[in-house]
Structures are given as structure tokens and as C-alpha cells.
Amino acid sequence: MSEKFDAIVVGAGPSGNAAAYTLAKSGLKVLQMERGEYAGSKNVQGAILYADALEKMIPDFRDDAPLERHIIEQRMWVMDDDSFVGTHYRSDGFNKEPFNRYTIIRAQFDKWFSAKVQEAGALVICETTVTDLLRDESNRVVGVQVDRDGGSIYADVVILADGVNSLLARKAGFHPELEPKNVALAVKEIHFMPQETLQERFNIGEEEGVVIELFGKITQGMMGTGFLYTNKESIAVGVGCMLSDFKEQKTTPYALLEQMKNHPSIKPLLAGGEMKEYTAHLIPEGGYKTIPKLYGDGWLIVGDSGMFVNAVHREGSNLAMTTGRIAAETVIDLVKEGKAMTAANLSIYRSRLDGSFVMKDLKKYQEMPEIFDANRQFFTIYPELVNRSAHHMLHVDGVDKKTKEREIFSSFRAKRSLFGLMGDAYKLWRAFR
Amino acid sequence: MHIVVCIKQVPDSAQIRVHPVTNTIMRQGVPAIINPYDLFALEEALRLKDQHGGTVTVITMGPPQAEAALRKALSFGADDAILITDRAFAGADTLATSFALASAIRQIQKNMPVDMVFTGKQTIDGDTAQVGPGVAKRLDMQLLTYVSKVVSVKPDKAEIVVERRAEGGVQVLKTRLPCLVTVLDGNNQMRFANMPNMFRAARHPLKRWSREEAGIVDEDIAKIGLKGSPTVVSKVFAPTPKSERAEMIAVESGDPKDLAVTVLAKMFTRFPAVEKEIAKRAQ
Ligand SMILES: Cc1cc2nc3c(=O)[nH]c(=O)nc-3n(C[C@H](O)[C@H](O)[C@H](O)COP(=O)(O)OP(=O)(O)OC[C@H]3O[C@@H](n4cnc5c(N)ncnc54)[C@H](O)[C@@H]3O)c2cc1C
Ligand SMILES: Cc1cc2nc3c(=O)[nH]c(=O)nc-3n(C[C@H](O)[C@H](O)[C@H](O)COP(=O)(O)OP(=O)(O)OC[C@H]3O[C@@H](n4cnc5c(N)ncnc54)[C@H](O)[C@@H]3O)c2cc1C
């Protein structure tokens, strides 16, 4: 006898958990399938948790969620080979509760979230891979096929929350093949050290945390960024670049990370730490223009599977949770109104997303990937020029400051024509507009 | 026919990953698994159930997280599962563990007589292979250890025949039921759970037994947990490797030819016989 549910959610990452939680909370009969050993066993993230997206579902999540530190300081470093020019923003305002951003360890966090999903009443089944979508004569999605005997399971609607590499969406033709220029490959390590050492090193208290965003020469001209976050007693450090760039440059991500960790400004931060975890994962960074069709007869796509990542602000899990929640709310509303899960009815999901920060932010940066892709000077020449200028100004050697300024300006002119400089300024403005 | 299978949750030593660059071991997030030998035991039990019908009950003594191991056993086809969990059990060695398990099995027997108890040969974390025999002794059951295969069971005659791996060969042994069998990594392979069993396992109302429910009375409290454990692990360490360490050979130029010359020179100084042999053959 095959089982029948109101909704099936494929995947137990942040998007799937948000969807399954919201659906189950409303009393619907929900099945969630995860191919990993448990929720979080396959998941990788830096990781910053943005409270807002979670708070909208679980207002009191702070009571028991495994949170590492709340962020009070954000650093942005533009890297040259042995130096950086940076900005730091630190505020005691970030120490006022409720805190807004936290570092988390995804494996623990996802497990916690999954427990909430089960408490809410969803049936969660792990170690089971969904291999196909089931369709009826009219090609409507009516359930899923899994890799086990007796594995045809039916539902009124299937929510695909299966992550960046969504084989299901591609197999079903909802989604074109992922292009290497639209996904970043990121690697991350966690280095453990005593809490006191870490706090001293970053000048922070018991619960406070720091984020460092790294940009420039560390990516060797490839399009990407690095990051470093403080957990309770460990540091997450990682770097990601477009997959197409790795292919072209024949560099491996861990060689890149190894080199980044040896940068003279980064090495002392990690010194003495014990590396305990190494992971690699794809991030969909194609942005707004690569978002596929998000709904159809009997199905919806949420999270990374729908390319919902804001690469500029390194936001992914919050978009995943928000799209998961909105998809679930759409289904709940249709059930309440007694409406069928047709493409026409489910299209509200897209219009609700369009009205939310998710689409607005992604739209704002839609030109970004192409502009940076076509203008590698932003990753090479400018970081170098900015660093060398700073060095020149700060090196006291009897040359007057006016002459130094002139020299700096001509160094810019030598690398980029005046026209080039103005053009770059315009492109940057367009990318961030 | 009623078979009780004892399982233990252990860290999966196979999943400890090594960093591709630094070659360091990464212990973080190593998942807990069912002790591999216990899976062989469970599969043998399930095969007997397939043949003769009956009931398979899995039990484990452990922390609340051990629930995952029991649910997994249910998904493979076990009929019932009991988690024996109580702070009083913490710190148990093999003596205390077998006392508690034996007591729990006696409680199970009150509802349904137990014909066989299956355990793994040993665990991959404690490695003592003592718990099975300890339980058999306490329950006054026949004991068959190092069993690679259950050849046959005749429920009507209360009789079991097994193959037992012994030094120099395989013994075929027969004894009467009730009997405790400790199972080796034998011929069977754990089945892949089907979807109806996955659903059943996820929904099964698991029994959680406290010390009292496991039948351990107040007078016996000193026989379980840390109090009941004369064995103390005083130190755990990785032995220093006995073999000589590899030597890094630095070559300035990075030219493959230089590299070859340097390596050969190094080798020949250390093993002059090799050089002689090569020279001899070259002639
Ligand atoms: C190195 C790195 C750093 C990041 N840092 C941040 C950060 O700091 N902040 C932030 O907000 N975001 C960050 N992100 C992005 C964030 O991790 C993702 O956007 C987020 O995890 C997406 O959630 P998801 O639920 O859509 O997908 P996932 O988290 O990938 O979950 C998908 C799940 O589906 C399962 N699955 C897939 N296929 C199947 C199938 N066929 N059957 C059953 N199950 C299946 C998978 O096992 C997986 O558990 C980072 C990503 C990386 C790689
Ligand atoms: C790192 C480490 C530290 C330890 N420290 C201490 C200590 O300080 N003091 C101390 O007294 N002991 C200590 N122990 C011993 C520990 O608790 C034993 O692992 C336990 O008593 C069971 O013994 P075993 O694992 O050798 O089982 P074995 O006798 O090798 O197991 C044989 C079979 O018995 C069954 N079985 C075993 N345990 C259980 C169980 N809990 N539930 C159900 N079935 C079971 C299984 O079928 C198993 O295959 C330590 C062990 C380790 C790995």
C-alpha cells in the first residue's frame, strides 16, 4: 500500500526544513525526505545565520538553537600579496538583544532545525534519495519515487528543496544544466583553538563574534571571495571562486585556500589552531538571471535549487528559509481555500517572492556576475594599486606628500587609462546600483 | 520464536576523514553507527524470522541518541525496540553492561519467552568481546561464540546448529535453546530497508526503559553504571609507530634529473647492496 501525503518536501537543508516546519505546523500531513544520514550531514556553510528569516517561523529559536556567537564586527579586507587595505565596522549596537546575525555550525544547526520539524509533526525520513518525480496522465507531479522497494509515495504537492545540484529539477526538465560560470566552488575548514585565545586574538568577549570578508589577490584573478568567521572555539575559514575559473586556471580550491591561509595577515589569526573539518560545496551564484521556473502543476522549487543566493552579501540560508516558508504558506492558503495545486494557483508563490526582499535584492544585483566576470581588474589590479598606494603614503622617506599623491595617481594611470578608470567606476556603480 | 538482538551505537571509524593537504585526521562530525558485527547478528536473526516466522526485538543500553540505532534496526525489519537508558547506567564496563542487559532481557521474557539472544562478536570501540558471554552466563543460557553462520534452527526440537570459526578450521556445533550467539562478520549482508519498513520505523512507538523498568532493583544499584564497573580505562593513546619515519629530500633546482640523482645517491648510501646489485646486472 503506497502512502499519500498533503505535501512531500525533498531535502532537509534550511529551505526544506523551513517548508516542512511551516506546513506541519499548520496541521498538514507532511513527509520530508533526506538522502543524508541525518539533516545536516551533507551540508556545508561558512556559516552566518541571519536571525530574521528564522524568527519569522520560530520566534523563540534563541532559547535552544545551537548558536556560536553573535556578530559585533564586520571587516572587509582588500588583499594584495602580503598586505591588505581594510575597513572595519564594530558597534556595541550589535550587542543589543535580540541579536541579528550569528555564527553557527551547520551540522548542529540543521539537526536542531530537523528536530523542530519533527516536533511540529512532519514525518522525516533520512538515508533515502528521491530519484524521480511521479506524474499522472496530464503530466502533473503527483508524488516521488525513492531508491527503495515500495518507494512510490504520493502527495498533492512536492516541494523541491534539494540544493544547488538539483538532479531532480534537471531530470524533470524544470531547470537547465548548471553552467560552471553560474556556480562557485567553495572550500571551508574549521580550526579549533581555546576560546580565550580566540577572544584575545579578535578582541571580543564571551559571546561576541567577528566576520572578515576577503577580496582581491587571494583569488588569483578568479572571480570569488574568501571569508573567516569566529565560532565559539573555532574559526571557519574558506574561499570560493566560480567553477569555470577553477577549470580555466587549473587551480584546485584547496591549493587556493592553503595559499590564502598563509597570507601574512591571516596566518597569525589561525596560528596554533587544530584543523578538524574540511568540506567543499557548490554555491549557485548566477543570480537573478539564472532563476528557473519556480512552480508548476504539483511542484515548487525553493532554496539553492532555485538559485536563491545573494553572492554579494553572502546570503543563502536566509533566502533558502524565506523561499521555503513562502512556498509552504502558498500551499497552506490553497488548501484552506480548497484549491488544487495547479500551476496557475501555485503562481502566487512567484508573485509573493517578487514582493519580498528575496527577489528585490537579487534583482538589484542582477548585472553583477557579468560585470565582474568581464572585468577581472577588480580582483587583481585595483587591490594591488590600493595596497601599494597605502604603502607609499605611509612609508616616510623624505618625499613630500604632494609628490607621493602624484606618483600614486600616475601608477593608477599606468595600469588603467583614464578612460578605463572612469569606465570601471561606472561599472562598479552599475553592479551595486 | 522470539529472538532478542543486542546492538550498540559506536563512532564510525571508517568515516574519519583525512585532509587532502595536511593529512591530518578530522574527527569532527564523525557519525554514530550500529556496531558492524551487530548488523550481522541482526541480519541472521531476520533471516531466521523469514524462515520460521516469529519476533525480533532489538535492545540497546545507551544515551537517548541511541534511539537512532534502534530506529534503523526497525527499518531493517525488527519488530520491536527497547532503549535502556538511565543516568544510573553511565560509565558501565562489560561487567555492568552485561548485568543490565541480562536484567532487561529477563523483563522481556516476562511478556514473551526468549528463544535466542544474538550479539555481535565484539564492538569496534570497546573491543572486549565480553558482553555476550556475560549475558549468557547471567541468563543461564547456552553460549555459542564466534559464529559465522546459523546453519539451522528447529523450533519444535528447541535446537540450533551453527558454524563457528575456530583456529585452523570451522566447527559445526549443535546445542539446545535457549541460547546466546555472538556473531562474526559472516556470509550475510544487511538487507536494504524497503519503504514500508522505513515508514514503520519512523512511526514506531519506541520503548524507553529506566533502571526500574529494566528490572534492576534498588539493592542492585551498585552492580550497574560506574559503581558496578571495576574496570577503569586509565589512559587512551595512539601508539608511536615503530617503523622509521620518511625522510624529506630537498632538491634545490626542482629539475627532475637532479631529483633522480639525489634520490639515487641517498638510496645507495643507505643500501650499498642495492647499488652493487644494479651495477652487477648492468654489466
Ligand atoms: C562554503 C559555503 C559558505 C556559505 N556561507 C553562507 C553563510 O555564511 N550564510 C548563508 O546564509 N549562506 C551561506 N552559504 C549558502 C548556504 O549554505 C545555502 O544557500 C543553503 O544551504 C541553501 O539551503 P538549501 O536548503 O536550499 O540547500 P542545502 O542546504 O544544500 O540542502 C539540500 C538538501 O537536500 C538533500 N538532497 C539533495 N538531493 C536529494 C534527493 N534527491 N533526495 C533526498 N535528499 C536530497 C541534500 O542532502 C541536502 O541535505 C554558504 C555556502 C557554502 C558552500
Ligand atoms: C574510549 C573508551 C573509554 C572507556 N572508558 C571506560 C571507563 O572509564 N570505565 C569503564 O568501566 N569502561 C570504559 N569503557 C568500556 C565501555 O563502556 C565498553 O565499551 C562497554 O562496557 C561494552 O563493552 P564492549 O564495547 O567491549 O562490548 P563487547 O563485549 O565487545 O560487545 C559484544 C557485543 O555485546 C553487545 N553490546 C555491547 N554493549 C552493548 C550495549 N551497551 N547495549 C546493547 N548491546 C551491547 C553488542 O551486541 C556487541 O556486539 C570505555 C570504552 C571506550 C571505547
pLDDT recorded at residue A174: 86
Contact (Cβ atoms closer than 8 angstroms) between residue B2 and residue B113: yes
> Is A122 part of any domain?
yes
Looking at the structure, tell me whether residues A298 and A410 fall in a common domain: no
Is it the case that residue A209 has pLDDT exceeding 70? yes
User: CA angle at residue A65 from A63 to A66, to 5 degrees?
Assistant: 125
Looking at beta carbons, which residues of chain B come within 8 Å of A277? 26, 28-29
Statement to judge: residues A361 and A374 lie in one domain: no
Total length of chain B? 283
In a domain, B115, yes or no: yes
**Domain assignment of residue A143, yes or no:** yes
CATH of the domain at B65: 3.40.50.620
Structural domain contains residue A349: yes
* Interface mutation target, options A37, A109, A187, A190, chain B, most CBs of B under 10 Å: A37
**Distance to chain A for B17, nearest Cα, Å:** 8
Residue B71 belongs to some domain of the structure: yes
* pLDDT higher than threshold 70 for residue B29: no
Task: Specify whether A317 is located in the same domain as A401.
Answer: no
Write down which residue in A365, A393, A421 finishes a domain: A365
pLDDT at B71: 96
pLDDT tens digit string along B182-230? 999 877 889 999 999 999 999 999 999 999 999 999 999 999 999 999 9
Ligand 2 atom nearest to CA at B118: 47
More reliable by pLDDT, B161 or B246:
B161
A219 located within any domain: no
Regarding whether B189 and B142 lie in a shared domain, the answer is yes
Structural domains in chain B (count): 2
A142 touches B: beta carbon within 8 Å: no
Report the atom number in ligand 2 closest to the C-alpha of B232.
9
Contact residues, chain B, for A124 at CB < 8 Å? 202
Residues B69, B15 share a domain = yes
Residue A138 is predicted with a pLDDT of: 94
**What's the pLDDT tens digit per position in B75-86?**
999 999 999 999
Final residue belonging to a domain, choices B223, B255, B274: B223
Model confidence pLDDT, tens digit, residues A353-379: 999 999 999 999 999 888 888 888 888
pLDDT digits (tens, 9 = 90+) for A93-122: 999 999 999 999 998 899 999 999 999 999
Strand partners, A349: none
The stretch B100-116 carries a mean pLDDT of: 97
**CA-based torsion, A118, A123, A129, A131: positive or negative:** negative
**Could you give phi then psi for residue A265, rounded to 5 degrees?**
-90, -15
Q: Which long-range contacts (CB under 8 A, 24 or more apart) does A390-395 make?
A: A390/A83, A390/A85, A391/A83
In a domain, B240, yes or no: no
**C-alpha cell at position A133:** 518525480
Residue A316 lies in a domain: yes
Residues B22 and B118 in one domain: yes
Same-domain pairing of B195 and B251: no
Q: Does residue A197 form part of some domain?
A: no
Its sign, for the CA torsion A419, A422, A426, A428, is positive
| Last-in-domain residue among B223, B238, B257 | B223
CB-nearest partner of B29 from A151, A274, A277: A277
Residues A165 and A41 in one domain: yes
pLDDT of residue B243: 66
pLDDT of residue A214 exceeding 60: yes
**A225 Cβ closer than 6 Å to some ligand 1 atom:** no
- Judge if B268 and B209 occupy the same domain: no
- Say yes or no: B145 and B112 in one domain: yes
A312 and A412 co-located in one domain: no
ipTM reported for the complex surpasses 0.95: no
Residues A426 and A355 in one domain: no
User: Radius of gyration over alpha carbons of chain A, in Å?
Assistant: 23
Domain span holding position A341: 4-66+103-175+289-365
CA A147, A151, A152, A158 torsion-angle sign: negative
Which residues 240-299 of A are in CB contact (within 8 Å) with B?
254-255, 258, 274-278
Residue B123 lies in a domain: yes
Instruction: Look at residue A272 and tell me if it is in a domain.
Output: no
> Could you give the CA distance from residue B102 to residue B96 in angstroms, rounded to a whole number?
10
Whether residue A35 is found in the same domain as residue A153: yes
Q: Are residues B60 and B107 in the same domain?
A: yes
- Inter-axis angle of helices B94-111 and B131-139, nearest 10: 50
Q: Are residues A298 and A427 in the same domain?
A: no
* Claim to verify: residue B192 and residue B282 sit in the same structural domain: no
B24, B28, B199 member nearest A3 (Cβ): B199
What is the span of the domain harbouring residue B197?
2-223
My answer on whether B140 and B78 are in the same domain is yes
Domain membership of residue B233 (yes or no) is no
Test site for ligand 2: of B131, B143, B180, B181, most ligand atoms within 8 A of the Cβ: B131
**pLDDT, tens digit, 9 for 90 and up, residues A5-40:** 999 999 999 999 999 999 999 999 999 999 998 888
Q: Which residue is closest to B23 within chain A, CA to CA? A: A275
Q: Do the chains contact at A149 and B24, CB–CB below 8 Å?
A: no
Per-residue pLDDT, averaged over A177-201, amounts to 92
Residue with cell 526485538: B57
Task: From A349, A365, A381, give the residue that closes a domain.
Answer: A365
Same domain, A47 and A108: yes
The pLDDT of residue B25 is above 60: no
Residue A307, domain member (yes or no): yes
Q: How many domains in chain A?
A: 2
For residues A387 and A360, state if they share a domain. no
* pLDDT tens string B230-249: 998 777 666 665 666 677 77
Mean pLDDT, all residues of chain B: 89
At A11, which CATH number? 3.50.50.60
Please check whether residues A46 and A157 belong to one and the same domain: yes
Q: How far apart are CA B257 and CA B236, in angstroms?
A: 46
Same domain? For B40 and B177 the reply is yes
Q: Is residue B238 in a domain?
A: no
> Which-ligand-closest: CA of B42?
2
Q: Where does the pLDDT of residue B31 fall: very low under 50, low under 70, confident under 90, or very high at 90 and above? A: confident
Q: Report pLDDT for A159.
A: 98
Rounded Cα–Cα distance for residues A364 and A362 (Å): 5
User: Which residues of chain B are within 8 Å of residue A150 when distances are taken between CB atoms?
Assistant: 194-196
pLDDT at B238: 60
Domain co-membership, B70 together with B142: yes
Indicate whether B14 belongs to any domain: yes
Whether residues A140 and A8 fall in one domain:
yes
Rounded CA-CA distance B57/B5 in Å is 6
Same domain, B39 and B164: yes
